[in-house]
Amino acid sequence: MGDDVLPHKVELEAPEDITVEEFYDFLQKDRYLPRLDTEWLLRHGGQTITSYHTETKELTNPNIYLKDLIHQSSRGNEFVWIYRRSY
């Protein structure tokens, strides 16, 4: 069974005033994002907030503040990462 079959849960402490782009930079710096040709989706409250392509470094909605998403939603501060392999 591959490592990507089972869900992983990681709790991270991030500054409250961080943008989506700064959050991705943080994840890359600490090597949370593998260097595969992959699309990562950041979801909050059941909606996709942004996507990031590891190969092209393309990031959608980079200037959204995570704190704004948390305050606008009744879902709290839980975010979900989903990845899709690019072929």
Q: What is the pLDDT along the chain (87 residues), one digit of tens a residue?
A: 445 555 567 777 777 789 999 988 888 776 667 667 788 888 888 888 899 888 888 999 999 998 888 787 666 677 777 877 765
The answer to whether the beta carbons of residues 46 and 34 sit under 8 Å apart is no
In the chain, domain spans:
20-85
**pTM summary value:** 0.71
Q: The tokens 């839980």 sit on which residue? A: 78
Give, in order, the Cα–Cα distances in Å from 59 to each of 4, 27, 36, 70, 73: 22, 13, 16, 20, 22
pLDDT in the model for residue 21: 92
